[in-house]
Structure 1
Amino acid sequence: MSDFQNSGPILVTGVNGQVGFELARTLQGLGHVVAADREMLDLSNLDQIRTVVRAVRPAMIVNPAAYTAVDKAESELDLAMRINGEAPGVLAEEARKLGAPLIHYSTDYVFNGEKDSPYVETDTTDPQNAYGRTKLAGEHAIVESGVEHLILRTSWVYGARGKNFLLTMLRLGAERSELKVVADQIGAPTWSNTIATLTAHVVAQAKAASDPAQWWHERSGIYHLTASGATSWHGFASAIFELAKLDRSPSVLPIPASEYPTPAKRPTNSQMSGDRLREVFGISAPDWKDALSLCLGSR
């Protein structure tokens, strides 16, 4: 196992994305960060992945990059599978050859959303759309590679940049007096900064370990990393306008998901328990509304 305290950089993919942008900043001070955008490291090009990893020789790979167009994945399955399913496996294989651990991000969409309580890491997976199937394939590829790894499943990711529900609501709210938002799908809106900050806390623990190889070996696995608490998309939208303190806010009307059909089926219940993350690493995410307030305050 490479000791990334003393040798090799931390390779972060997708640094122009919501989570990657934050990771490139929160990981500073924990090692030299090589921030790879799509031009440097395109996950749809598996040969390029091998070339870049072998050139950089990272002591750790952190992979937030993904194909995230959930509805488009239904018609671009091959591309989504290459980026979400095959690329993580290649990263894992190259990391294992270097003795470097891999941190990878997955999704609540690996579940069918029919459970009536928060999902735990050992619950049976049953993705209901192409995006979820490709992300689950990536999880399996990482585990099967034998690399030391953390797979962090998150949900309803938003931030002050990129394409996400928060920015869509703020844009539409400025254009319309009334918005209809789905009220019968439940989850935990999770700020991209929260994900990156908690990731950095975990990396700091690994860095401080007396035996990093043993530390990683004992903790490798899947963890759920989402904000605490839960709400509906309607509740999320309502909170956005409550906390944004706009001069004029639209009316937000609740509708069932059946009134807003999408190419990809969404889980009814996207709640995931953070108990394992807290028990193993002693960290937990803030309440979703507290994090949203911080995010809006930083815009």
Structure 2
Amino acid sequence: ANIPFSLNVGELLREAWDRYQLPLALTEVHMACTREEQLRWFYETYQTCMKLKKEGVDFRALTAWSYFGSFDWNSLLCVKNNDYESGVFDIRSGKPRATALAGMIKSINQGQPYKNNLLDVPGWWRRSDRLIYKPENEILCVPNSVAENTEPAVPILIVGATGSLGSAFAKICHKRGIIYYLSERGQLDIASDVSVRKTLEAIKPWAVINAAGFARIDEAEVSTETCYRENTTGPVLLAEISKSMGIKFVTFSTDQVFNGEKRKPYSVNDQTHPLNFYGLSKKIAEEQIGNMNPESLIIRSSCFFNPWHQNDRLGMILRSGLNSDRQIFLPSDIIMSPAYIPDIVNTVLDLLIDGESGIWHLSNQEETTLCDFARLALEMAGLNENIVSAVPSSKLDYAALRPSYSVLESSGGITLPLLNHALTNFVHEFYKEPSFQVMNQSTL
């Protein structure tokens, strides 16, 4: 028999009321997940309870759990991994930081209407993409009022369709049920006032994420005009027009704004002294955007690695690992803090939804050299790490100077997973990529 299933908490509460006729309350209304799903879960429950109350059910209370989050609750405190699960407030910095849930609950308590574009999409528990194997005659639960909006959902505009960062934002937004529009270079010229205004007026996004930019550090030394246009002029213009239209803005900077003279992780309060033109272009963009649109969110990070992008540097090294005859020379004297793009993207989306602003540092907590980083990845992938040889950076004919130490101290208590954990995920995702499967078959 085909048995319809339902995830409608209202039906369960109604059953309880009809049977016992006693006052009802829902406590610990919380979901361990991404921020927008936390919002959707709590708001759906709130709307359901208010509907029952209007129908005569004696509903007394609705509470969130937990107000200040919890540590290691994912193992019921059986394993001490210091895994933090954010609640209404995030306390990892030592001072409670209000998340988007705090704003929602405050509005509800004050009897004010709450509007958030992310509520226009149903939660994952109401989306068919939650199922790996769908029943042949699946009967989906009836959408609640959160999902009944027939108007097109307001998107995030992601600038930089072909880049590693932009494509990762698109992939993860899709997974999280966040509506987005991914613009390509031919569609939007970020350094053109006319092009930017035309695009924003047409798409009407609630946020702009600038994931584009000139990232070739050595080439920037000779292509200074192009680098400045893509890393400074364009982002500043995007930030300015976004502000004028009431649109949130996110952009990315780099560890290259520092000179490396400090021998402990750089904080957001440390002075910037770039050694190369790429870093200078980012430094100027930071300053101009911060002065002109202080509500912007600026993310500093370092040495991205992304398993989903064909041109990812670490991915190309792993592909070389299938042919151990090819030797790769990497510097042994440049120390940095790598950043796994999926971790970065998920964290940035949460910060954006929380309404955070200013400069934030994000990295996977550990410092390493480029050489050791590549060797560790090869070893974890079961490949020959000896194809990587350590050399001084002075032997690599870099056109641009690089800081010898550019480790970033994560901001606001935000801690991304440890590097080993990130690399484990990278290798797992890398081996699933179609490009690897084709390449691996060709070597058999």
User: Do the two structures share a fold, i.e. TM-score over 0.5?
Assistant: yes
Partner of 1:164: 312
Deviations 1:93-126, CA, capped at 9 Å, x for gaps: 1111111111111100011111110000011001
For the pair 1:74 / 2:74, whether they are aligned, the reply is no
Deviations 1:237-268, CA, capped at 9 Å, x for gaps: 1112101113x554433211111120111111
Partner of 2:429: 298
In structure 2, how many angstroms separate the alpha carbons of the residues matched to 1:175 and 1:153? 35
In structure 2, how many angstroms separate the alpha carbons of the residues matched to 1:24 and 1:192? 12
Spell out the pairing of 1:35-114 with structure 2 (5 A cutoff): 35-114=182-261
Q: 1:267 to 1:168 in 2, by over 3 A?
A: farther
In structure 2, how many angstroms separate the alpha carbons of the residues matched to 1:147 and 1:30? 28
In structure 2, how many angstroms separate the alpha carbons of the residues matched to 1:234 and 1:136? 27
Partner of 1:211: none
In structure 2, how many angstroms separate the alpha carbons of the residues matched to 1:198 and 1:291? 14
Unpaired segments ≥5 residues, structure 2: 1-114, 121-152, 431-444
Alpha carbons 1:15, 1:23 under 8 Å: kept: no
Q: 1:97 to 1:147 in 2, by over 3 A?
A: farther
Q: Which amino acid aligns with 1:293?
A: T
The match for 1:235 among 372, 376, 383 is 372
In structure 2, how many angstroms separate the alpha carbons of the residues matched to 1:154 and 1:85? 17
Partner of 1:210: none
Post-superposition offset of 1:45: 4.4
Q: Which amino acid aligns with 2:399?
A: P
TM-score (norm 1): 0.86
For the pair 1:19 / 2:161, whether they are aligned, the reply is no
Instruction: Kindly indicate whether structure 1 or structure 2 has the higher relative contact order, using CA contacts under 8 Å at least 6 residues apart.
Output: 1
- Report the secondary structure of 1:254's partner residue: strand
Q: Which amino acid aligns with 2:158?
A: V
Spell out the pairing of 1:129-148 with structure 2 (5 A cutoff): 129-148=276-295
Spell out the pairing of 1:248-267 with structure 2 (5 A cutoff): 248-267=384-403
Identity within the alignment, %: 29
- Report the secondary structure of 2:397's partner residue: coil
- Report the secondary structure of 1:71's partner residue: helix
Partner of 2:334: 185
Deviations 1:47-77, CA, capped at 9 Å, x for gaps: 3223212222211111111111111111111
In structure 1, how many angstroms separate the alpha carbons of the residues matched to 2:328 and 2:256? 25
- Report the secondary structure of 1:121's partner residue: coil
In structure 1, how many angstroms separate the alpha carbons of the residues matched to 2:258 and 2:194? 31
Post-superposition offset of 1:81: 0.5
* Count of residues paired in the alignment: 280
- Report the secondary structure of 2:157's partner residue: strand
Partner of 2:299: 152
Partner of 2:344: 195
Alpha carbons 2:297, 2:352 under 8 Å: kept: no
In structure 1, how many angstroms separate the alpha carbons of the residues matched to 2:341 and 2:405? 21
Q: Which amino acid aligns with 2:379?
A: E
Unpaired segments ≥5 residues, structure 1: 207-215
Post-superposition offset of 1:154: 0.5
For the pair 1:288 / 2:411, whether they are aligned, the reply is no
Deviates more, 1:283-292 or 1:26-35: 26-35
Q: Which amino acid aligns with 2:364?
A: A
Q: Which amino acid aligns with 1:227?
A: N
In structure 1, how many angstroms separate the alpha carbons of the residues matched to 2:326 and 2:186? 40
Partner of 1:8: 154
The structure with more radius of gyration:
2
Q: 1:196 to 1:179 in 2, by over 3 A?
A: same
Post-superposition offset of 1:25: 2.5
Post-superposition offset of 1:191: 1.5
In structure 2, how many angstroms separate the alpha carbons of the residues matched to 1:175 and 1:45? 47
Post-superposition offset of 1:137: 1.7
Post-superposition offset of 1:288: 1.8
Alpha carbons 2:324, 2:387 under 8 Å: kept: no
Alpha carbons 1:155, 1:188 under 8 Å: kept: yes
Deviations 1:214-252, CA, capped at 9 Å, x for gaps: xx3xx4210001111111011111112101113x55443
In structure 2, how many angstroms separate the alpha carbons of the residues matched to 1:32 and 1:167? 28
Alpha carbons 1:186, 1:232 under 8 Å: kept: yes
Deviations 1:136-161, CA, capped at 9 Å, x for gaps: 12212211222511101000112121
Deviates more, 1:108-117 or 1:138-147: 138-147
Alpha carbons 1:184, 1:232 under 8 Å: kept: yes
